[in-house]
Amino acid sequence: MISPTLPIPAQDPHVPVLLNEVVEGLAIVPGETLVDGTFGAGGYTRAMLGAGAGRVIGLDRDPDAIARGASLVPDAIDTGRLTLVEERFSQMDRVLADRGLLPVDGIALDIGVSSMQLDQAERGFSFSKDGPLDMRMSQSGESAAEFLNHADEADIARVLKEYGEEPRARAVARAIVAARPLTRTAELAAVVRKALGYRQGQKSDPATRTFQAIRIHLNAELDELEQGLRAAERSLRPGGRLAVVTFHSLEDRIVKRFLKIRSGDVPSGSRHRPMAAAGPPPTFEQVAKPVSPSEAELARNPRARSARLRTAIRTDAPAWDQEKTASAGRARR
């Protein structure tokens, strides 16, 4: 168990998930420099500082998270131990290079939305709280209302299938187009439930899949995760630790695959394909088995249910992608 020297506020708005396991995976040596790529309510950052990190760079693409962050950990900001930056984690190597902080000793990513984002109706992430159809983490770019009211039915169906794994994506997309214009989350939830024949008291609300899909699409979350892993590969020193927490199988698959490939764990040749082409030398090693929350954590925080932690250690091989991420040139945050 860690014992943070910086107390977790009594009314913490977001309960950090797999916190002890993440800190253990980061194996922090006092004085080290770490990146918390998804600052949120600062749960991981406080634990990193509590475990002796000399310096933490906290990133979040949500301006609210950064604005609140300064008051969550004021001492660390005053002493220069914590720097908060409103930025996407796919840009972390640029942020670190600009401050002369490359390479770093550890990086944590806690993928997805925070409880603050979910619980504030006006952010439009939740189908159980009526609010404007927004769902933009960075509060800029295309909103959910703009997407749903203008996209082709086929495009909406593709998003629902790809990012929500919605088996009846076409039916839901058709119902959305027929109900346009949509402006509120409650309206969208009602349209989806009607299209899928939802009955009160049914175990899981079918609107879950649609909301997840639209959110992932608008915030380009899977692309960000891929680019973020590459940026982490460029940012870690040899021996540096990576810890990534995901919340659903689409995300976990990306992390699993990245670490498998980057650690050289590719199938050796078969009779039919005798020689698998040799890739560059592995950039990660000691890829650990995925860790899920304990029963005790789930009892305290049911939202942690589908969380998975994957950790690995950077080797001294050069990063596979030396070029800056393609997203560096994009306007979106």
Ligand X SMILES: C[S@@+](CC[C@H](N)C(=O)[O-])C[C@H]1O[C@@H](n2cnc3c(N)ncnc32)[C@H](O)[C@@H]1O
Q: CB under 6 A: which stretch of 55-63, 96-104, 153-161, 208-216 binds ligand X?
A: 55-63
**CA angle, 287 as apex, 283 and 288 as ends, to 5°?**
165
Q: CB under 6 A: which stretch of 50-58, 107-115, 267-275, 279-287 binds ligand X?
A: 107-115
- Provide the β-strand partners of residue 84: 58
Position 124 contacts ligand X (CB under 6 A): no
Q: Which of 25, 44, 124, 192 binds ligand X (CB under 6 A)?
A: 44
CA distance 224 to 333: 10
Position 14 contacts ligand X (CB under 6 A): yes
By C-beta, is 229 or 319 nearer to ligand X?
A: 229
Position 251 contacts ligand X (CB under 6 A): no
By C-beta, is 113 or 182 nearer to ligand X?
A: 113
By C-beta, is 41 or 148 nearer to ligand X?
A: 41
144-203 residues near ligand X, rule: CB under 6 A: none
Q: CB under 6 A: which stretch of 37-45, 127-135, 166-174, 315-323 binds ligand X?
A: 37-45
By C-beta, is 84 or 173 nearer to ligand X?
A: 84
Position 215 contacts ligand X (CB under 6 A): no
CA distance 21 to 9: 20
- Give yes or no for a contact between 6 and 46, defined as CB atoms under 8 angstroms apart: yes
Strand order in the sheet with 104-110: 82-86, 55-60, 33-36, 104-110, 236-246, 308-314, 284-285
303-322 residues near ligand X, rule: CB under 6 A: none
Tell me the C-alpha to C-alpha distance, in Å, between residue 234 and each of 58, 218, 230, 254, 308: 17, 26, 6, 18, 23
CA distance 59 to 317: 26
Position 38 contacts ligand X (CB under 6 A): yes
Position 65 contacts ligand X (CB under 6 A): yes
Position 291 contacts ligand X (CB under 6 A): no
| Matching residue, tokens 């009314």 | 11
Position 89 contacts ligand X (CB under 6 A): yes
- Give yes or no for a contact between 221 and 111, defined as CB atoms under 8 angstroms apart: yes
By C-beta, is 89 or 284 nearer to ligand X?
A: 89
By C-beta, is 116 or 171 nearer to ligand X?
A: 116
Closest residue by Cα to residue 113 from 199, 202, 180, 17: 17
- Provide the β-strand partners of residue 314: 284
Q: Which of 32, 93, 224, 233 binds ligand X (CB under 6 A)?
A: 224
* Exposed e or buried b per residue across 266-296, where buried means at least 16 C-beta atoms within 10 angstroms of its C-beta: eeeeeeeeeeeeeeeebbbeebeeebebeee
- Provide the β-strand partners of residue 290: none
Q: Which of 55, 61, 217, 310 binds ligand X (CB under 6 A)?
A: 61
- Give yes or no for a contact between 269 and 276, defined as CB atoms under 8 angstroms apart: yes
Residue 89: DSSP 8-state: G
Q: Which of 32, 68, 96, 114 binds ligand X (CB under 6 A)?
A: 114
Residues that bind ligand X (CB under 6 A): 14, 16, 37-38, 40-44, 59-62, 65, 88-89, 110, 112-114, 137, 224
